[in-house]
Structure 1
Amino acid sequence: MHSLSFYPEEMPRYAKSRVLVLFDIDGTLLRRAGPHHRQVLEEAVWQVAGVRATTEGIPVQGMLDGAILQCMLRQAGVAETAPAQMLAIMKKAQALYVRRCPDLREKICPGAPELLERLAAGGAVVGLVTGNLSRIGWRKMTQAGLRAHFRFGAFAEQAETRAELAGLALQEARRRAWLDTPMVATLIGDHPNDILAARANGLRSVAVGTGVVPLEELAQHRPDILVPDLRALKLEQLICAD
């Protein structure tokens, strides 16, 4: 795990809350955000490692960017990548994406802005748990006009699995003394990996059908709450213990 900051800037003081809500990005807050993310991963591998690698044939949904890069390199014939080189690839990909990310306001999933506004009004602690690298994730939120809703995030370069990322986010919220007791903590995502990550950390899981995984398949993984999109998710479901 790489020790990198959760935050792009210093965080202000906050009152304690009994509600923590963590969001995935792709398929949950945004959908069909364009090819730029995949393209910068491919270009970063070429610029840093001199290897022509592609995301073609890799089931990237639900994966962390680091795992995607490892798969790309192995698929291109690179058996092992030195940690320093992988960090350089990640750094290059993020720099490229920050420059190229388009306006994403039309890519926001239905109901996301309204739900985020309601959570803010209720004083909830709201963060990101995403397979995106940190600068890529924050850039997406900025270009979608959603950045101000998120207090912190856990990102791909900080762990090897989504469950570990969810655990890091929970630990950080507690370390910052943002949470009161009793507490209701929820992870919202569009992939079975999000459901499993929530379960591994004792979080309530909300699965939304705005990604590539059909609702029927998500239901097989028994999320605590299953909705077609965020418009169907009521605030009470996130703030009530039962």
Structure 2
Amino acid sequence: MWLVLFDIDGTLVRMRPTPVRRALQEALQWTLRRAVQPEWLEDLAGKTDLQIFAEVAARYGWSGEELVRLMPRFACVYTSLYRRWVSARDLSVLPGVEALLRQLQSLPTVVLGVLTGNLEAIAWQKLRWAGLAPFFRVGAFGSDHWEREHLLPYAWRRARHAGLPIEPEKTILIGDSPRDVACARRWGVPCIAVATGPVSAETLSAAGAAVVLPDLTLHEHFWHALYELHAQADYCH
């Protein structure tokens, strides 16, 4: 079976940035007991929530075991503040997404999942708000590891534990940032990149995406890309 893993932010949904940044900034300040400048939270595309925490903490000299010890506290605080400041009104599903997920879900040879930098609780909250949670059977999350490139094996393990007969080499990642592409390349699987986030199609192509689409509304282009990747996988294996 094929495992098709979607990023969330910028790929499936778009969030209004102001309340999200407020929750994140407050959680960082509460955990570190230090001021956090808004400009430190500008380049977030593709980063895990724990990576953002680690980078801000490093500005104040936190590292090693001390940093790791604080990560669960940050995750708890951020999840709580996220639920306080962010709501379903701050989210919109990107065009073409729901129809594409319905088509993919109907295929008996495809398992849908997410691979996201969001903490797990926040990821599922977004998917519930968007009405997309029922499509996804497995996931890998920013609470699993602070480096996105290490997340894919978590999705594979969860699929196996759920009794899903996926083949790791038949995995496709779909995302909107060079970090999505880097994660896919790290494990030798293709990434279909979509230019629906803050990163241009040219940058995504230069990062090594197997295919770059302008968005997920052109379903015939998506299916053509999927067919080509399927054929390549069968040829190589």
TM superposition score normalised by structure 2: 0.85
Structure 1 position 142, deviation (Å): 1.1
Q: Deviation at 1:225?
A: 1.5
Equivalent-residue separation in structure 1 for 2:20 and 2:154 (angstroms): 24
Cα separation, 2, equivalents of 1:214 and 1:68: 22
Going from structure 1 to structure 2, the CA distance change for 1:160 and 1:48 (only over 3 Å counts) comes to closer
Aligned with residue 179 of structure 1, among 162, 165, 170: 165
The aligned amino acid for 2:5 is L
Alignment of 1:24-173 (within 5 A): 24-58=7-41, 59-75=43-59, 77-80=60-63, 81-103=66-88, 107-123=92-108, 124-173=110-159
Cα deviation digits, residues 141-164 of structure 1 (max 9, x gap): 111111111112111121132121
Provide the alpha-carbon RMSD of the alignment.
2.3
Deviation at 1:134, TM superposition (A): 0.9
Q: What letter is aligned with 2:80?
A: A
- Greater per-residue helix proportion: 2
Specify the SS of the correspondent of 1:159. coil
Identity of aligned residues (%): 32
SS in 1 for 2:40: coil
1:66–1:156 CA contact under 8 A, matched in 2: yes
SS at match of 1:93: helix
**Which is further off, 206-215 or 82-91?**
82-91
> What is the distance in 1 between the residues matched to 2:56 and 2:37?
6
Give TM-score scaled by structure 1 length. Answer: 0.83
Shift in Å, 1:31: 2.0
Aligned residues: 224
Structure 1 residues 164 and 43: alpha-carbon distance in aligned structure 2, compared to 1, 3 A threshold = same
Shift of 1:183: 6.8
Deviations 1:132-184 (A, max 9, x none): 11111111111111111111211112113212102221232234331256973
Amino acid at match of 2:7: D
- Partner letter of residue 238 of structure 1? L
Q: Distance in 2 between matches of 1:202 and 1:176?
A: 23
